[in-house]
Amino acid sequence: MALAASTTLSATAQRVTDVFANEDFVKHVSHMVGGELKSFASDGVTTGAFTTKTVRTLPTTRMPDIAQKFLGASLTLTQEESWSAPASDGARTNVIKLTVAGAPVNINATQRLLPSGESTVVELAGEVSSSIPFLGAKIAAAAEPVIGRALNLQATLAQEWLDNQSN
């Protein structure tokens, strides 16, 4: 199943990168959805190329019934991100891989941060897949809107975080 989302944040691409790679922000997003941050690691500085790895638990209460049947009351999500160094115009690319422990669901996406004056357009495109024969497409289709809502929530929370930093 294809995944696509786009939003504009009123901050530079570097500031947006700094927020998305900030452990306190990642913890805040986890808590806002009723989850818990288990671990966060980053290898490098946000002004160059770097990677992050986030492990969090999330409740399945807002997921479709088919997902709850497979996952139970909560799931453990591992998110690995590989950020490029900024291009000459400040644009960034972030390759994202999400895996769900104990579930045959994988999400592979590319997030692009595109400078637009003092704002940044955040574009995300990717694929949700499941390797279960016969049910894989249903599981991927059920996961897609949940992931889309999570990405939109992350952008909304990032804008609030940026606004609070400016005050």
* CATH, residue 34: 3.30.530.20
Residue-by-residue pLDDT tens, the chain, 167 positions: 577 888 899 999 999 999 999 999 999 999 988 889 999 999 989 999 999 999 998 887 766 676 666 666 778 889 999 999 999 999 999 999 998 887 777 889 999 999 999 999 999 888 887 776 665 666 666 666 666 667 678 888 999 999 988 76
Q: What is the pTM of this model?
A: 0.86
What is the pLDDT, as a whole number, of residue 131?
Answer: 72
Structural domain boundaries enclosing 63: 2-166
Neighbours of 7 (CB within 10 A): 16
What is the pLDDT, as a whole number, of residue 28?
Answer: 94
Nearest to 96 by CA among 142, 162, 154: 154
What is the pLDDT, as a whole number, of residue 140?
Answer: 63
Domain total for the chain? 1
What is the pLDDT, as a whole number, of residue 90?
Answer: 96
Non-local (6+) Cβ contacts of 78 within 8 A are 53, 54, 55, 98, 99, 101
Nearest to 11 by CA among 150, 148, 114, 143: 114
